[in-house]
Amino acid sequence: MVRDITVRHAGSDQIKSDFRGKDIVSLDQFDIESLALLFQVVPRMRAIAINSRPSDILSGILASLIFYEPSTRTRCSFEAAINQLGGRAMVIENPQQFSSFAKGESLEDAICTYEAYCDLIVLRHREDGAALRAANVATRVPVFNAGDGTREHPTQALLDLFTVYEQHERLDGLTGLFVGDIKHGRTVHSLLKGLSLFPRNTAYLMSPTELALDFDHLKELQRLGLTIKAIEDQNRMPNHCDFIYCTRIQKERMSLEVYDRVKDNFIITSVFMRHFSDPKMILMHPLPRVNEIHTEVDADPRAVYLTSQIRNGMYVRMALAALVFDQIPKEWEIPGLPE
Ligand code: NCD
């Protein structure tokens, strides 16, 4: 049976290597030490997932997965993660249509209700800041942000950082090429914040002008120490990078006119991939992909978007839940865990 997590928290609390009872709302809550702790737990979760013996680490935990926007990987990987650890998940399908949202109920009232029934809330929402609002209402249970608005998708960024770390065994001194919708891509925004925690990282942001990172956002990341080079032309790509992070053009967040103009500006093909000779480079994508990576690229061993990147999503979410519910077995002897 899971121990009671009685630690009270505010939605934006720093993790500071102590995940117990905390909400996971933004990458702003993380520092290098907390990432290092999380990344030590992830391989343990992989071992549980590939082992057919059941785990009871989260037995007694009921998670509500509330997705106001469509999702395949984030929702299923959370559900799988909770189940893998012996907990149960209640998936609220299409709340915009089938919950009292359709009658005009506020997010706050809906969250109070879900909180009454469960031990963990996982929320995806269309509005910026929705997860923090939910976390500030649900003071009895942790809230995980499964992507809100265009700003944050912290659990995706954590799995992306883990995927880069697994490949390069470090998260500093890296060069990443980001391609696609840099303006609206919440996965990109959270990942850039994560990279800015480490020294000497450089991000090339390649997008059509309409989809470039907002100026204030760019300045903030530079202030945090990230070197940013915004480019609009493939001829200005670096010759070397450690990872490429390709994203979907977020059709639902722009006018059709803009979408039609920008949708096929950058398409990753085998020819594109030949520009980069480093066999250690990886090509990532949070998915779903629409047209931005040609399927011929899927067979490139450097393409990880349909393989390890997806699997890491489940392992990282398992690790986060186990840490937040303070259920890391003592015998794992994970250094840096709070007493
Ligand atoms: C992304 C999202 O929802 O932000 N997908 C994901 O969660 N893996 C990316 C997208 O929708 O383009």
pLDDT digits (tens, 9 = 90+) for 215-230: 999 999 999 999 999 9
53 — pLDDT class (breaks 50, 70, 90): confident
5 — pLDDT class (breaks 50, 70, 90): low
Rounded to the nearest angstrom, the gap between the alpha carbon of residue 144 and the centroid of all alpha carbons in its chain is 11
For residue 248, the ligand 1 atom closest to its alpha carbon is: 12
For the ranges 16-30, 47-61, 170-184, the lowest mean pLDDT is seen at 47-61
Supply the residues annotated as catalytic: 73-74, 103, 124, 153
- Pocket lining: 251 vs ligand 1, CB cutoff 6 Å: no
**Distance in angstroms (rounded) separating the CA atoms of residues 2 and 51:** 22
Residue 1: is its pLDDT beyond 80?
no
Task: Tell me how far the alpha carbon of residue 285 lies from the centroid of ligand 1, in angstroms.
Answer: 9
Rounded to the nearest 10 degrees, how much is the dihedral formed by the CA atoms of 299, 304, 310, 315?
A: 130
Kindly report the number of other CB atoms within 10 A of residue 116's CB atom: 10
Long-range contacts of 296-304 (CB under 8 A, 24+ apart): 296/269, 296/270, 297/268, 297/269, 297/270, 297/272, 297/273, 300/270, 300/273, 302/273, 304/163, 304/167
Question: Which residue from 150, 251, 287 has its CB within 8 A of the most atoms of ligand 1, so it is best to mutate?
Answer: 287
Task: Tell me how far the alpha carbon of residue 3 lies from the centroid of ligand 1, in angstroms.
Answer: 33
Task: Tell me how far the alpha carbon of residue 220 lies from the centroid of ligand 1, in angstroms.
Answer: 23
pLDDT number for residue 93? 80
Cα first-last separation, the chain: 19
- Pocket lining: 317 vs ligand 1, CB cutoff 6 Å: no
Kindly report the number of other CB atoms within 10 A of residue 317's CB atom: 29
**Distance in angstroms (rounded) separating the CA atoms of residues 170 and 77:** 25
Residue type for position 255: S
99 — pLDDT class (breaks 50, 70, 90): confident
Task: Tell me how far the alpha carbon of residue 211 lies from the centroid of ligand 1, in angstroms.
Answer: 16
Residue 52: is its pLDDT beyond 90?
no
184: region left, alpha or beta (phi > 0 left; psi from -120 to 50 alpha): alpha
